[in-house]
Amino acid sequence: MHIPDGYLSPSSCAVLYAVAAGGWRVALKRVRARLLTRTVPLISVFAAFSFVLMMFNLPLPGGTTGHAVGAAVAAIVLGPSGAILAISMALALQALLFGDGGLTTLGANCVNMAMVGSLVAYGTYRLLSGSSTRNARRRVFAAAISGYLSINAAALLAATEFGLQPLLFHDARGVPLYAPYRLGIAIPAMMLGHLTLAGLAEAIIAGGMVAYLQSAKPELLDRSLPAGDSPPLPAQGTAAALSLRSLWFVTALLMMLTPMGIWAAGTAWGEWSPAELARHAGLRQGVPAGLQRLTALWTAPFPAYAPGFVKSAFVGYLLSAVFGVGLILMLSLLSSWRSRRLASREPQP
């Protein structure tokens, strides 16, 4: 579901970047309305969780792969605004450092997975959980359904973006300039894997994480209670530190298991390189000219989570996970430090 460079036209990318920019602006404004020093660490830990989670590739029908996103559990804990920022941070790092998704299509990927995924998950969870208490079993069920629907909504939107390209952008002969898949191909190909295994994985993760938080850190579920959309986050101090520590521990455990993510053979549908696209899609007219041109726009330092200086694919994948999570943690610490400095300079009433 990480759309690479070249699959969407520049105008499509510009429109989706504009939509994404509006979403980021609203999310930042809503987050700033609360105590930023308490919000940043939680956003960071869920950004790291999502980053690692998306490295676990699942084998899908047709010889391709897919992955969960983690938008649902992020939206349940952080609210939709915090989840949008967390998932967007993970997607940006993946595109910049590892070539997982393109730079021109980063806005599209954030709209699909971070924004639509988070909003669908949060709305579904609130609707299904109703007025139940935060420890009710109903909330585990609601989380699982919200996870399943959120990733499928994101996948459907991505498939639609693919399918519109050959209809809107082609040369005088009708040859597609960017993604060559029409809606009749793109939607079934994308949705088959997400309605089955990827959706199931997202459901299990969302439901399992809510069940874990209900028993271990129930205060983190207060944001999704029906009393209001933005109750206060856990106060700073020992309780908040322990809540974050347990979440970082879960993320670190997943990070150590990331080499399992390359066991699944194949590449995700719609994420093929030009050479793979020509081989798998059997294009008679060759690789679309616009796609070929934009693909070379950016070369990530560690493409496909495979640092060139590491011979072992498993070790390289693990080091990529460690580097990505470490960078998110460093950014979190810097943001918290800056926020505390700004807060200390403000005049006290």
Residue 145 forms part of a structural domain: yes
What phi and psi values does residue 104 have, to the nearest 5 degrees? -65, -30
pLDDT, mean of residues 267-275: 86
Q: Which amino acid is at 249?
A: F
Compute how many other C-beta atoms are within 10 angstroms of the C-beta atom of residue 4: 27
Closest by CA to 126, choosing from 72, 50, 83, is 72
How high is the pLDDT of residue 149?
A: 98
Residue 2 forms part of a structural domain: no
Q: Is 130 left (phi over 0), alpha (psi -120 to 50) or beta?
A: left
153: pLDDT confidence band, cut at 50, 70 and 90? very high
Is 37 in a helix, a strand, or coil?
A: helix
Q: Does residue 4 contact residue 103 with C-beta atoms inside 8 Å?
A: no
CATH number at residue 295: 1.10.1760.20
pLDDT in tens, 237-263: 444 555 678 888 889 999 999 988 887
The tokens describing 219, both together, are 């205060």
Q: pTM of the full predicted structure?
A: 0.90
Of the listed ranges 70-79, 150-159, 239-248, 252-261, the one predicted with least confidence:
239-248
Residue 4 forms part of a structural domain: no
**Which residue range forms the structural domain that includes residue 154?**
10-345
pLDDT, mean of residues 225-247: 53
pLDDT, mean of residues 135-150: 96
Transcribe 283-334 into DSSP letters.
-TT-S-HHHHHHHTT---SSGGG--TT---HHHHHHHHHHHHHHHHHHHHHH
Q: Does residue 174 contact residue 284 with C-beta atoms inside 8 Å?
A: no
Closest by CA to 66, choosing from 160, 153, 151, 163, is 151
Alpha helices in 4-116 (DSSP H): 10-32, 36-53, 71-98, 106-109
| Overall domain count for the chain | 1
Residue 325 forms part of a structural domain: yes
CA 264 from chain centre, in angstroms, equals 19
pLDDT in tens, 1-30: 899 999 999 999 999 999 999 999 999 988
Residue 122 forms part of a structural domain: yes
The larger pLDDT score, comparing residue 297 to residue 100, is at 100
